Chain A
Amino acid sequence: MTKQLTTMIAVLALAGSVSAQTKKADGLTGTWNMGLQGGHVIPVALVLTQEGETLTGVVSMPTQKIGQTVDVPLKGTLASGAFSLSGTVEGAKDPTTIEITGKLNDEGMLEGRVVMSGTSGPHGDMPYTAERLKERK
């Protein structure tokens, strides 16, 4: 029984390691469910495409009205495991720039910070974690 349990633990540990490597190998391309930690956790969609070290994507940022979002196109790069993305909210009175920095951790999740700033000054600086969305029909 003890041997069976030991074997099972070893297999599970190996499976976990392989799983994490597989997630890393997928790169950043895909849909991510970001949790912006701004007081409570605000779910935000981040859709990324990775081509080599170049990143493009869209983040759907919540507006002040509950239930409404604005899509912000993003461009960025990936270097030495860390990435940075930036974009501008179009049509805003005070043009707001969004910068997202972070890295892919060993659990296959993104973690980092989102910084928003406008001509009038900083609008916010929040940590986040993001997990890959299992897209389903």
Chain B
Amino acid sequence: MKALSRRAVLKGAGATVALPFLEAMVPARRASAAVDTAKKTRLVCVEMVHGSAGSSAIGIKKNLWAPAAVGRDFDLAPTSLRSLTPFRDILTIVSNTDVDPANPFTAKEIGGDHFRSSCTFFTQAHPKQTQGGDVSCGISLDQLYAQRFGQDTAIPSMQLCIENVDAAGGCGNGYNCVYTDAISWAAPNRPLPMIRDPRVVFDNLFSVLKAGGTQAERAERLAEDRSILDWLLSSVARLQKTLGPADRSRLADYLEHVREIERRIQIVEARNRSGELRELPSAPAGVPDSFSEHVKLMFDLQVLAFASDVTRVFAFKLGRDASNRSYPESGFKGTFHETSHHSGREDKILNFARLNTFHVGMVPYFLEKLQQTPDGDGSLLDNTLLIYGSPMGDSNLHNHKRVPFFMAGRAGGAIKGGVHLRAPNETPLANVMLSVLQALGLHDLERFGDSEAAYNVEHGQHDGSDRNQAEVLL
């Protein structure tokens, strides 16, 4: 019997839904090869702004971000990463690295850290100071990966965000707002727009192929609160007849997951259109006012996208520099910007650590969902790498030293995990990112951003650099 194509989709009048990985997609004589095909590494690049409490002098002593011990016997309990304890075996924490490209290079750039930092994080490149259209930064890590390995999916990569990023023109200190808002750059002059509304993400994932779907049909769907699955009933029925019991069950679970996420988006939209007072009155109707609800929806959409292989690469921006948003769900009600400027006082640093802990605490939800989702002969978590960090270190000083950074996942075996590495002083974070890109398959990449040499993310040594010697002497 002929195998089902990995690119097979369910088509309805207004929606096209890609399928999850099914056994029917495996040709009997090439089972292992097909399973290997399913094991394409998924990449999620998460940026949080304003550094961490653990990057301050007091925070370093108290291990508010990086654990005290290096190697494999690290203790996450005092750190903002403690919620990741169930996943410690797949964690790679690299501490004590710098993002020098976020520093000012000229007098006019001094003071512009908030407006320049975000674009530097995944590019490790210094942006050109301009408010006009002649923006220039670097190519971001996610895009280097997507350009090499994301071209055989319907969407090569997607860019998501949580806060408002639709400001146009200049943001401050002579910087165009795209430097503040875009973390994903396809080329030095091509920042990619970020999507904040889960509804837009959902429609992109399942209507992007638009098999006969029109704007009017989608509007009708919204007005009637219908599901895209309603349009797929006959298509699903036809496919079910050709599948074995295990695949039928897997397809049913997947479609139920699609429907559950769609239902959550509809509930948010209904609530936000009800006329009730909103905490985020200017946000689109599909954006939940709750930070955690929004982040979880976005993570669920990423799991769906990975399961259906619509895309394998996400960039995800959790915050916006200088935001005065508060996070009451963290148990602390202070505003973000003010709390991050802690004046070096221990009580305020500990408050900022609570916010850091809350933000990192969103990640285990995603990792659990990936773990629960089959992919080939394992789970999506086996074949995913999540990178999380910030281009700022001590936000009270607006510096870019000792920035927070960790990775979760083994990327299909490319990264070992279960380790805390403390880099020698003044190590560029770009050295780590270069090593990650090489591990992900870009073996011919010799430089990334301001990298000097690849920093091995398994045992913490530089390849062909005298920094290793410095580490020993210190």
Contacts and interface: CB of A to CB of B under 8 A. Distances in A.
Given A35-B397, A67-B171, A43 B113 contact: yes
B107 A45 contact: yes
A40 B342 CA distance: 6
Contacts of B397: 35, 41
A68 B398 CA distance: 16
Contacts, number: 60
Interface in B326-341: 341
A40 B173 contact: no
B105 A137 contact: yes
Interface in B97-135: 104-108, 110-115, 126
Contacts of A40: 341-343, 396
A62 interface: yes
Contact of A45 (B111, B115, B175, B343): B111
B398 A41 contact: yes
Interface in B215-272: none
B173 to A, nearest CB: 5
A44 B112 CA distance: 9
Interface of A is mostly: strand
A4 B227 CA distance: 75
A69 B343 CA distance: 22
A84 interface: no
A39 B107 contact: no
Contacts of A68: 172-173
A44 B172 CA distance: 14
Contacts of A135: 105-107
Nearest to A5: B473
Could you say which interface size class chain A belongs to? 20 to 34
Interface in B76-107: 104-107
A47 B107 contact: yes
B200 interface: no
Contacts of A18: none
A14 interface: no
Which residue, of B108, B113, B342, has the highest number of chain A Cβ atoms within 10 A?
B108
B398 A43 contact: yes
Nearest to A43: B111
Contact of B110 (A8, A39, A44, A137): A44
A43 B322 contact: no
A62 B111 contact: yes
A15 B463 CA distance: 28
A67 B172 contact: yes
18 contacts: A39-B343, A41-B398, A42-B111, A43-B104, A43-B113, A45-B108, A45-B110, A45-B111, A60-B108, A66-B322, A67-B173, A133-B107, A133-B110, A135-B106, A135-B107, A136-B105, A136-B106, A136-B126
Interface of B: 104-108, 110-115, 126, 171-173, 175, 322, 341-343, 396-398, 473
